[in-house]
């Protein structure tokens, strides 16, 4: 059977729009066989997703996406197949969420100065758990008419160099990879193209990442176009990294980004799942699969 993998997705536990159960249901409708839930700095949705996945015959990979401060910029590291009960990992993620709370309050203070009142409380109402992200503030700004859409909210208010930008101090690269490894997982560099690094700088990130025990990177991501996927495939091969594929799905409504769609790995790479022990009774979904591009 030709399996469909989506190894990077978000639920309401972080900044996704669907609950873990509804995310799994949609994944099933879209023909996904192997799904990783990778919420920002949180693993609380995995248990719920696992229950739903069992019912529809999806293989659920427990995951997380950890924010990392690297050379004064932000890099995201995805962890796959982690033990979500691991004390070191849980302690690390708890600290991350404390920092998120402090940073969210700073964002709210900045917005207040521009006459946007009660932004912290407002962002909490935008579907937030205990890990506020800029996405929650963006939704609030759109809802209150301070931005015309999410992109506009990031451009005008929340993005780097925008009026209410607060960077945040996240985990170190070593910490994130170590937490994931301690929890028995595989570390994956998320959407490398998004960082806009030169090949030299990306090589330096990869080299440090491998030193700490990182093993894979996202070759295929909705942030990567076809040429970028081919290029990242070559980098992965050259650097001896396994290749991952994920939509980074946050919410329905964007036809270009949906669960399991357009995620075929370029040829020649070694998939991150090459040695996973997948059950051989994964159900074929009810809906015909869209052709992978």
Q: Which residues bind Mn ion (CB under 5 A)?
A: 15, 65, 76, 190, 248
In the region spanning residues 143 to 172, those forming contacts with ligand AMP, defined by CB under 6 A, are 150-151, 154
In the region spanning residues 47 to 86, those forming contacts with ligand AMP, defined by CB under 6 A, are 67
Distance CA 73, CA 206 (A): 15
Nearest residue (CB) to ligand AMP, 62 versus 67: 67
Instruction: Tally the C-alpha atoms within 13 A of residue 226's C-alpha that lie toward its C-beta.
Output: 3
Q: Give the per-residue contact string, 35-54, with ligand AMP (x = CB under 6 A; - = no).
A: -----x--------------
Nearest by Cα to 21 from 39, 47, 59? 47
User: Is position 134 an interface residue for ligand AMP (rule: CB under 6 A)?
Assistant: yes
Residues contacting ligand AMP: total by CB under 6 A: 10
> Residue number with the shortest CB distance to Mn ion?
76
Nearest residue (CB) to Mn ion, 72 versus 114: 72
User: Is position 133 an interface residue for ligand AMP (rule: CB under 6 A)?
Assistant: yes
- Interaction partner, residue 139 (Mn ion, ligand AMP, none; CB < 5-8 Å by kind): none
Distance CA 291, CA 293 (A): 6
Q: For the CB of residue 249, give the shortest distance to Mn ion in the complex, in Å.
A: 9
Question: Which region among 1-9, 128-136, 261-269, 275-283 touches ligand AMP (by CB under 6 A)?
Answer: 128-136
The β-bridge relationship of strands 73-80 and 34-37 is unpaired
Q: Give the footprint of ligand AMP on this chain (CB under 6 A).
A: 15, 40, 67, 133-135, 150-151, 154, 250
């Amino acid at each position: 059977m030709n399996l469909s993998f989506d190894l990077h997705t978000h639920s309401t536990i972080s900044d996704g729009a669907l609950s873990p159960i509804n995310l799994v249901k949609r994944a099933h409708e879209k023909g996904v066989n192997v799904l990783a839930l990778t919420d920002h700095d949180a693993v609380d949705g995995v248990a719920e997703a696992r229950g739903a996945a069992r019912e529809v015959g999806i293989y659920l990979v427990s995951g997380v996406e950890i924010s990392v401060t690297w050379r004064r910029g932000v890099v995201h590291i995805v962890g796959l197949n982690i033990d979500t009960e691991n004390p070191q990992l849980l302690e690390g993620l708890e600290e991350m969420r404390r920092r998120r709370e402090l940073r969210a309050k700073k964002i709210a203070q900045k917005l207040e100065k521009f006459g946007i009142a009660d932004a912290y409380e407002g962002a909490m109402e935008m579907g937030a758990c205990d890990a506020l992200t800029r996405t929650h503030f963006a939704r609030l700004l759109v809802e209150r008419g301070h931005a015309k859409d999410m992109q506009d909210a990031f451009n005008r208010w929340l993005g780097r160099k925008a009026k209410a930008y607060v960077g945040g101090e996240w985990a170190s690269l070593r910490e994130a990879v170590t937490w994931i490894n301690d929890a028995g997982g595989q570390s994956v560099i998320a959407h490398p193209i998004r960082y806009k690094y030169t090949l030299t700088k990306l090589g330096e990130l990869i080299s440090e990442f491998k030193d700490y025990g990182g093993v894979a990177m996202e070759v295929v991501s909705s942030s990567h176009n076809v040429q970028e996927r081919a290029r990242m495939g070559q980098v992965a091969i050259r650097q001896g990294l396994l290749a991952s594929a994920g939509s980074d799905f946050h919410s329905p409504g964007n036809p270009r980004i949906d669960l399991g769609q357009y995620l075929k790995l370029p040829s020649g790479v070694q998939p991150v799942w090459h040695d996973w022990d997948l059950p051989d009774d994964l159900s074929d979904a009810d809906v015909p699969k869209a052709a992978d591009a």
